[in-house]
Amino acid sequence: MEDQFQHRPYVVVFPMMAQGHMNPMIDLAMILASHSCKVTILTTLLNSFRYHSVTEWSRSQGLELRVVHLPFPATQMGLPEDCENLDSTTNPDMLWKFVLGIKILQQPFEEFVRKEPPNCIISDTLFPWTTQTAEKLKIPRYVFHSTNSFFYCVIAGMRSHDSDEEEFAVPGLPHEVRMRRTLLSVPYEDESLLLGMDALHKEMRMSDKTSAGVIFNTSYEIESAYVELFKSMRGCQQLWTVGPLSLISHPKGRSRQEKQGKEQSPIDEDQCLRWLDSKEPRSVMYVCFGSIASLSGAQLMEVGQGLESSQHPFIWVIRGAVEEGFLQELQERVKERGLVIKGWAPQLQILSHQAVGGFMTHCGWNSLLEGISAGLPLLTWPMFGDQHINERLVVDVLGVALSVGNQKLMGLDEEQKTEELVRREQIERAVTAVFGNEHQAREMRRKAAVLSETVRKSVEAGGSSALNLNVLLKNVGCHV
């Protein structure tokens, strides 16, 4: 067996320990392995359990893909012992301590790479210090961005705008994009965290310039003007848009199989799909707000009542605390019209099902890509990170989304004030609008269908993402 693999190129893939970062990099690792690469995924012990079925499936296909654990001393960072993923953080300070403390992995990373030198390293953008190891050992290092180029262009424009205006048109962009200054960053009590994040962002910008290449999990057709703007801003030598990677590694909406996060669902994949099979085409609203942020109990009640009032079938994936009595009563009232799932749900398969006609999302980039790929109109409910900026891309630039109305940068465990809640009436109106016959709704559905077809073609033979992926594979040393 060793002889079979000894001449294959060897790649180390090192994702940030967060679902939004790990999922696309795992997809990329599987693609590399399917093109005769030997692949090692570096992560921590607790994170590796989430992808046991992925590595088992790869082995069953004759692919050489393995996971190696690096030690993660969470307590040394002032975090709980089992906090090895961003979805284990419960407030903004914990989240950024986690991000800033990741640098402690530099030494074990370098020790591993010295022991087993790869042909190249593909590293998450949040690990800019891997550039130092790569340069020291003369190993090509590629940086992977799990978000979009639009985000970086907007951030640069907002930082260059010297004004006290609360809301303004971001300068230097190909489209008019209006942003609120308060959505740019989270207010931290610890000033050292702000300084640390600023330093990290500077390192990330420099690592884009000095890396062998920059990889984006996006399709050029989604944001071509912003890809070109990013290239000129960062001075990138080589940049490849290779997404959506979920379309390449899961072309028919096949579930990743891993149960993500800490909560397990009492409803299995087959039950969920059977429920969808009983619904009319394009009639169901799918609602999911990601694996990290949790809405308050009061806000979750508004969501449930808004979905109920809309009179449309829905699947609602809940993360967070909500009164069990409320959920039971809601399920009883909506009966077969609504399906409430606590914990994990097979999102790829749900979105690709013909019964689903809309997607209410927190605007995480992976979720947006999956919704776009499925050709669904979107209802946007951003909370933090890149999400408010991502909302502007799908609402203002692409025209495939409507905003539900949240204008607040939310913390992970923040209990919203009563006046800040998105009300059930807003939610009902937004859901009704997506399925309505008004010109705006028809045009949004049309644009979503056209964009889906365009994006899908980009990953097919001869498409922009497929061609870029081939160039990347050749750089890595694969025979394409």
**pLDDT on residue 396:** 96
Out of 3.40.50.2000, 3.40.50.2020, 3.40.605.10, 3.40.50.300, which CATH number does the structure's domain 2-146+185-243+460-476 have?
A: 3.40.50.2000
CATH 3.40.50.2000 location in the chain? 2-146+185-243+460-476, 269-456
Which tokens in the block code for residue 53?
């079925």
The angle at the Cα of 402, spanning 398 to 403, to the nearest 5 degrees, equals 115
As a CATH number, domain 269-456 is: 3.40.50.2000
**pLDDT on residue 40:** 96
State yes or no: pLDDT of 420 exceeds 70: yes
The DSSP 8-state label assigned to residue 224 in this structure reads H
**pLDDT on residue 269:** 84
State yes or no: pLDDT of 410 exceeds 60: yes
pTM for this one?
A: 0.92
For helices 224-234 and 149-160, what crossing angle results, to 10°?
60
**Beta strands 38-43 and 10-14: pairing type?**
parallel
State yes or no: pLDDT of 101 exceeds 90: no
101, 16 contact by CB (below 8 A): no
Torsion of CA 233, 165, 403, 391, to 10 degrees: 10
Residues serving a catalytic function are: 21, 124
Q: Around Cβ 285, how many Cβ atoms within 10 Å?
A: 26
| Residues 326-342: tens digit of each pLDDT | 888 898 898 889 999 98
